Structure 1
Amino acid sequence: MSNRFLSAETVIESLRDNGYNNTAYALAELIDNSLQATATRVEVGFIEEQQEARKNYTVSEISIWDNGVGMDLDTLRVAMQFGGGTHRKDTGGMGKFGMGLPNSSISQCKRVDVWSWQAGGEPHHTYLDVDEMKSGTLEDVPIPTAKAIPAKYEKAFFTKRPESGSLIIWSKLDRLSWKTGKSIYRHCEHLVGRMYRNFISDDNIKIESITYRKSADERLDVYDKETFKANDPMYLLKNTSLPELPGSYKNEAFFEEVDKEVISVEYIDEDGVPKRDDVTITTSIVKSNIANKILKSTSKSLGATVWGKHCAKNIGVSIVRANRELVLRDSFIPSDLRNYKGRFCAIEVSFPPTLDAVFGVTNNKQDAVKLIPYNMGNISEQAGFDTEAEFKRDLFNNADPLLEVFKVTDVIAMQVKDLERKLKEINIAGKAIKGTDEPKTVSEGAASKATQGSAHRESHGHKTSDEPTKALKKEDVVDHLKKAGGMSDEEAEEKAERLILTGNRFLIEDVARDSEAFFDVSRSKGLTLVLFNTNHVFYQKLVSKLDSDELEIMQTTIAGFARVMNETTDERKLAYLNTIRREWGIVISEFLQGPEDEELDDF
């Protein structure tokens, strides 16, 4: 029985679970290393082969090579150690934690082989193997030895091998998020393009994705080839993955810069000396002239166009470290803004690695865990203080770096409010639905069926927070319809009068919304408004084709869900129901919009 202080098997399995969200993030660690090595080209290869019992091709190996400066023997061996690496003192680069190459690799596979060469010299090789590490047969990183790159890789990857560079091969893949080269690229495309947008757009680096297929004689043939394009959530860069803008705007940026604020943040360096460095917060917003140009040529809202759908994938505050994005955090954007106009504004927070400890940057460079929205009242109370001022004074007296974080998050909150005000001046709604003069009115049958019995329960003491037994007031209804439903004064007046006349407290309407949800529910002053989103793929492909009886069945179903939300007084349960509503809309969109040629193995 072993008396080792640590169990190799347990430690290795724990390291394999070290928090990489998916294969794309793991590959990003290797791209970071290439950039740190001043590479100008990186190729990510997905090597597919047919399994014996199946006809479909699946990825059996992943390769990544670059034309960076390469590694000498000592550097190569240290780079394969957990917590090794040579960039810990580099305050300006992406590296520093010394966990990237080994950690990211074993998070996806059981074996990683690395070759590196310099100045036209012979490649040297070393490796890690999870099975050997767990069994104890591999306790040290093997000393790198001169070893030729296998011919199948050499011939497939290089027309001429770079003077210097590195090649990494992942094999014995057992934890991939996706199974085909096409699927991995598709899921990586948006994320990798966003992470490295600044490097790609400046032509500092070219990142390619190539899918190879292995033939019976071990030859690798190119099956598919793509180049990663910059994906800029600020929409200030040109020549990105955003579809070409119309007319004379095709060479312009989609957004314009609104503000740029620099905040000086204090930190303690490794020698315990207080120092300061800058955080830059930049905001941008869609150009109104481009928005108007697009809306003139379509009956859709701006959010339903190809440009709006692209923006929908980039909602949030982009947190950037050393010019590379860590995370896009949407929790800074209020849900009502996020589900409507929030895709047409953007915020970027950029800082150097010197501030890693202040902002809680994780060693896998996927997050800055302290850069989140804070409810100061709740935090102060939980910490045992009567006021926010007392709490902040205590942080100051204890030199707590959280006070420096608040400097940044307070500015972010103010910038969000400023963008929200500016967005009110920009039209994104577009015209009415084609073939109609206005969004069609939905029958009241569904609403009445779904709400039968409500009054009976209310008379037995189940009273909702808005006291719906009180008579509706026209001014309240009009205000609700204008704010939540986006109706004009005239339309809101007409609907309000009808509701008061019929006594109905539910209204179901079809409107064009910039939202991932198929329907929205809002309640105020006794009126529940359910809005079917005509821009949603479920509406366009299915609901719009229903006859009147079928439509009433659908409306009754949704109105029933709305009634459950309407009668829920528990805030946590209501938040849960809202999450279900949004997630259902996203899932059904992905299902209905999925590529027709998707292979079964990708499910």
Structure 2
Amino acid sequence: MNQSKLYISPSVVIESMRDNGYKNTAYATAELIDNSIQAGATCVRLACFEKYKNRGKQIEQIAIIDDGKGMPSDVLHLALEFGGSKHREDEKGMGKFGMGLPNSSVSQCCLTEVWSWTNPEEILYTFLDIDKIKNKEIESIPAPIAKELPEHIKQAFNGEIPNSGTVILWSRLDRLNWKTSKSIKLHTESLIGRIYRRQLSSESEYNKNKSPLRIVFQCYEYNDLTQSYLEVSSESFKPNDPLYLYTDTTLPTLPAPVSKISAFAVKDIREFPIEYEDGKFSTVIVRTSTLKPEVAKALRATTDDKIGATVWGKHMKKNIGLSVVRADRELDLIADYYINDNNTKDRWIGVEVEFEPVLDQFFGVTNNKQGANKIKYIPLDKLASEVVDTEGKTEAELEAEYLRYLNEDAPWDAKVTEINQAIKDMISAAYKEIKDIGFTGVKSSSLSNTTMTKTDPTNIQATIAERQRAEEYGIVGDDAEPDVQSISEHLKNEGFPEEEVEKTIQEIIANNLKVMFEYREGLDDFFDITSFQGFTLIRINTEHSFYSKFMKNANEDERKLLNLCLAAWGRMEKEATTNIQKECRNTRRRWGMMLDEYLGDAVE
């Protein structure tokens, strides 16, 4: 009697399946977050568990933890099979290829464990172990069994396991791009925030009738004394919107008077109906957005340089490109898609193309959901030259002939080409509007009749850092507006001229400052810190040897870095208890005196 054999031996192919094209660890974790969102999760936790090794801290495990609807035994058994997911049955859902969980997992680790439950009294467990598959110890995913969650995973739930949910735990992490939780967070927060901006923003249409999704980054360190993991940080991801239409994003707070509005406004929207099956249509939507004139004016007023050099301009520069959105999540940001300006000033516009999963084949979506191969701009005359006679024909004639050819021989390709051409035209129109208004390359010193008050960019950067710190480690007074009356009285008591006090107050109000630096003579210490409700004034002594021997001749970047160090000290003093604050002030004074002694004989 002949025994049936596996068509493909898992032990032979498993290693090659690990090279499945994920750009990095952040994109791999996004696959798992997709599954959580599709399972109806309201909170997804990305938890890193670290231990100290010979070379310092290193991640031992990564977990994706959610409070979604969970999986019964039969669904869980399929979830780790390549192509076995039930998500194929949801033609509009994020996950559709049935490859996300096993594909992303094997790209990063050798052991993937999954716990899932539809009620917390019966938690089911199974796993995918690459080493056991390679050694032919197992050739299929084990049937789920009842198994309790590990204690450190329970801890990540903050003591209360939800009524349903799923935990995916990666161990034996041999293919991570980054080895520490700090690096993981640094490289994922902007990307995760951009991929799931619609789910995370309270202002998006996606959340019109529900609360925004929370994606939380948690870090745990192993304590040898307690033999357990202790939480060292927990922070929610913010949306990162490349169209800049939301206000609750990672973009630093805009300066007054535009601090409470979005940076961009919608410029144009076009829709393209696509027949993907006989009688069935789906709509492709293309949007562009442009920087608002009033925002451009406010940004110009903060600098004597181009506004691209400000913290807002630098943020926008990182989001240059065409955002490809599928099922309300970003697949890719194509940075080089018809950049209209050689100096990449297109950061003052945003553009996205949006479609449903039923158009995956139409756009050539990859099964790891990291791109759409057919969304790319190629000049039509170049395409035409490959299939039609070019001799004696103008560019317009070539384009028209090429489109006729496509409509006859490949109607889908014709429609894709039409959409790509429309995106290019919309980008050109958006950029023309910006160029005509003159947003790019204009220095504030060239402006006239403006009521804005300029400030040192370091004041802005320190203010942004102060606000970000306050969000995570808030203290009394953080939410208060700067007490301008107290500031004014303090400056007057210090002997400031009336007109200088007024100028300083206007600068604080106009730029929505929480931190401000000032240089002056006659201070007792190298630097002095005065805190009011909602405001910190840092004064630097221009008569101190450190100022005369270093700061006076330092370049802008060096001075900015030192000032931000002083701002961090100021925040530390504010967060300290009363007794510690007194010791901080004494230490600051002693250090300033010692610094003066050490530098006294230094060469100028």
TM-score, structure 2 normalization: 0.68
**CA shift in 2, pair 1:47/1:385, >3 Å:** farther
Between the aligned partners of 1:117 and 1:233, the Cα distance in structure 2 is 37
**Among candidates 373, 377, 382, match of residue 373 of structure 1:** 377
**CA shift in 2, pair 1:374/1:37, >3 Å:** same
Is the aligned partner of 1:287 residue 2:258? no
**Among candidates 201, 212, 220, match of residue 212 of structure 1:** 220
Is the aligned partner of 1:328 residue 2:306? no
Runs of 5+ in structure 1 lacking a partner?
434-538, 543-603
Of the structure 1 ranges 366-375 and 8-17, higher mean CA displacement relative to structure 2 is found in 8-17
Aligned to 2:475: none
**Among candidates 347, 371, 393, match of residue 404 of structure 2:** 393
Deviation at 1:92, TM superposition (A): 1.5
Aligned residues: 430
Between the aligned partners of 1:169 and 1:73, the Cα distance in structure 2 is 18
**CA shift in 2, pair 1:60/1:303, >3 Å:** same
1:166-565 mapped onto 2 (5 Å cutoff): 166-202=166-202, 203-216=211-224, 217-268=226-277, 273=278, 275-334=280-339, 336-337=341-342, 339-383=343-387, 386=390, 387-424=398-435, 425-428=437-440, 429-431=442-444, 541=557
Between the aligned partners of 1:193 and 1:106, the Cα distance in structure 2 is 24
Asked whether the 8 Å contact 1:67–1:166 carries over to 2, the reply is: yes
Deviation at 1:14, TM superposition (A): 1.8
1:111-190 mapped onto 2 (5 Å cutoff): 111-190=111-190
Deviation at 1:10, TM superposition (A): 4.3
Aligned to 1:453: none
Asked whether the 8 Å contact 1:266–1:404 carries over to 2, the reply is: no
Between the aligned partners of 2:388 and 2:439, the Cα distance in structure 1 is 46
Aligned to 1:554: none
Deviation at 1:332, TM superposition (A): 2.0
Between the aligned partners of 2:142 and 2:429, the Cα distance in structure 1 is 57
Q: Deviations over 1:188-207 (max 9, x none)?
A: 00000000000000343100
Aligned to 1:66: 66
**CA shift in 2, pair 1:4/1:85, >3 Å:** closer
Q: Which amino acid aligns with 1:222?
A: E
- Could you tell me the percent identity over the aligned residues? 41
Asked whether the 8 Å contact 1:46–1:181 carries over to 2, the reply is: yes
Q: Deviations over 1:121-151 (max 9, x none)?
A: 3110000011111122121110000011122
Deviation at 1:234, TM superposition (A): 0.3
Asked whether the 8 Å contact 1:153–1:220 carries over to 2, the reply is: no
Q: Deviations over 1:368-416 (max 9, x none)?
A: 1100002222222223554444433332223442111112101101111
Q: Deviations over 1:392-443 (max 9, x none)?
A: 333222344211111210110111110121111133422369xxxxxxxxxx
**CA shift in 2, pair 1:335/1:131, >3 Å:** farther
Aligned to 1:76: 76
Q: Which amino acid aligns with 1:300?
A: D
Q: Deviations over 1:174-231 (max 9, x none)?
A: 0001111011011000000000000000343100001100122541101122210000
Between the aligned partners of 1:261 and 1:218, the Cα distance in structure 2 is 58
Between the aligned partners of 2:121 and 2:218, the Cα distance in structure 1 is 26
Deviation at 1:171, TM superposition (A): 0.2
Deviation at 1:154, TM superposition (A): 1.7
RMSD: 2.1
Runs of 5+ in structure 2 lacking a partner?
203-210, 391-397, 447-554, 559-604
Secondary structure class of the residue paired with 2:333: strand
Asked whether the 8 Å contact 1:331–1:372 carries over to 2, the reply is: no
Between the aligned partners of 2:167 and 2:78, the Cα distance in structure 1 is 16
Secondary structure class of the residue paired with 2:286: strand
Deviation at 1:540, TM superposition (A): 5.7
Of the structure 1 ranges 176-185 and 386-395, higher mean CA displacement relative to structure 2 is found in 386-395
Secondary structure class of the residue paired with 1:87: helix
Between the aligned partners of 1:320 and 1:194, the Cα distance in structure 2 is 10
1:22-101 mapped onto 2 (5 Å cutoff): 22-51=24-53, 53-54=54-55, 56-101=56-101
Runs of 4+ in 1 over 6 A off after TM superposition: none
Between the aligned partners of 2:70 and 2:89, the Cα distance in structure 1 is 19
Deviation at 1:331, TM superposition (A): 2.1
Secondary structure class of the residue paired with 1:336: coil
Aligned to 2:488: none
Asked whether the 8 Å contact 1:341–1:423 carries over to 2, the reply is: no
TM-score, structure 1 normalization: 0.68
